[in-house]
Structure 1
């Protein structure tokens, strides 16, 4: 048991729920089993019609605070509403099918208390519906510090690993953007990163459950449209007016995703076109080249 002896260091754990019965009990238990005990669980029930409410209410723990939404909302609005009910100095997120390692909060709060980093996150594992290990989410080392450009060049924050100081919310104003359905996490954490140091731990501190329901083609196209909107919004922010190269990186990343989606749908881009399009990102070019080989068999056909 560890609280670091100070109620001011409470962690508000945001858990949004909509018909999450199958894995909910295990997810809540992974919060209860934390070695760091100074937390509150803000459980936001987005008008579930299954047994989710009964599952959470079976836990007799004053730190678990149940809220039933007055109306069903999209995820990002539900997250904002849950944050409004939170009281902790720090904010964390855990979805109803994911899991935390028992020392997650203890290790991360220790870093936050040092004062150098107001935002911490870590590596995590991917697991299947039976909790079997699939792979590590992040295979290569990532740096800590001012990492806005690194996130733009290849976003790698898992929201289930995040803990940040509440004071950051005062700096960004708006929390999750309600106009987004797919890129809200990316937008929110990019805004928090602009001018703030982030700490990344290579240690695996959480488990993300993969259900095998990859984005449909329609949702993938919606995501690409939202990235275009986000790029326009970023271009209007003072931070990117001073870092135009960051914005160019973001536009290139979206173009990479467009080409990737095109190849997946059977389009036959020439190698020369792919090389010119990705000339400043050899890693993107190689990924597209491999995908072209898989889809069209002959990589040397122009």
Structure 2
């Protein structure tokens, strides 16, 4: 069995997919499987993927477009690695990402860890200061802001099990991390930049005003909080989101 399982959803990703493939195949840590689920792409993403003959790549197809969380869950159901990490089809890792994350988890005896990541425009030129992994994250702090990013985190499935993404939530990554942190004390920070995140101008994570309701439902429907408590944490999340992405504070 490989030591690491990399989970990647693909949907009409041909513009950046070759660069993402390159960053994975150039990793200095080589004991991994790369589980890719194509979510019914209509461009040439599948053709690009089929040109990769590396036996560590395991390609699965979704018959219908079910969204990134759905595609990730298909791959997660097939994962055999001890350590689980995520890379979307338009993001980028530095060559030592897997090696340093695995070493850090072992050194810290941690179940979950996250690192810094650069916040870039489409050509991977930084446009904001790097997001810093400078605090331990627990369940209560994660309620107020999602400091954990899929592309810069890794967890030990041998110790915490496989954590799937919820159906029916547009904030499925936040719900998944909250559910995982119910099981463990903290996520440990590795304060080193080892990933690059493309901040698309129309990205859902930046349209805070349009997803306030979706975030409220994270607390009400998935965490089962009452209306007052759900409203309180939604307000905290909105404020922290403004500070996270505002150039004035970065």
Distance 2:205 2:141 in 1: 27
Match of 1:229 in 2: 217
Q: Deviations over 1:262-298 (max 9, x none)?
A: xxxxxxxxxxxxxxxxxxxxx89x97xx9xxxxxxxx
Pair 1:48–1:171, CA change in 2 (3 A): closer
Match of 2:12 in 1: 19
Distance 1:12 1:23 in 2: 21
TM-score under structure 1 length normalisation = 0.71
Match of 2:158 in 1: 167
Higher gyration radius (CA):
1
119, 126, 129: which one aligns with 2:112 = 119
Match of 2:165 in 1: 176
Q: Deviations over 1:170-219 (max 9, x none)?
A: 486xx2110202x11111101111241311111011000122114499x7
Pair 1:214–1:69, CA change in 2 (3 A): closer
- Find the residue that maps to 1:122 and give its secondary structure: strand
Match of 1:99 in 2: 92
Match of 1:142 in 2: 134
37, 49, 57: which one aligns with 1:44 = 37
Unaligned residue ranges in structure 2 (runs of 5+): none
Match of 1:201 in 2: 190
Pair 1:229–1:131, CA change in 2 (3 A): closer
- Find the residue that maps to 2:131 and give its secondary structure: coil
Q: 1:164: Cα distance to partner?
A: 0.7
The answer to whether the 8 A contact 2:144-2:236 is kept is no
Distance 1:40 1:171 in 2: 15
219, 227, 233: which one aligns with 1:253 = 233
The reply on whether 1:155 has 2:146 as its aligned counterpart is yes
Match of 1:298 in 2: none
Q: 1:10: Cα distance to partner?
A: 1.4
The reply on whether 1:71 has 2:51 as its aligned counterpart is no
Q: 1:71: Cα distance to partner?
A: 2.4
The answer to whether the 8 A contact 2:130-2:193 is kept is no
Equivalences, count: 242
Q: 1:127: Cα distance to partner?
A: 1.4
TM-score under structure 2 length normalisation = 0.85
Q: Provide the alpha-carbon RMSD of the alignment.
A: 3.0
172, 177, 184: which one aligns with 1:189 = 177
4+ aligned runs moved over 6 Å, structure 1: none
The higher-RCO structure (CA 8 Å, 6+ apart) is 2
Q: 1:236: Cα distance to partner?
A: 4.0
Distance 1:101 1:216 in 2: 23
Distance 1:44 1:138 in 2: 28
Unaligned residue ranges in structure 1 (runs of 5+): 1-6, 241-246, 261-282, 291-302
Normalized per residue, the structure richer in strand is 2
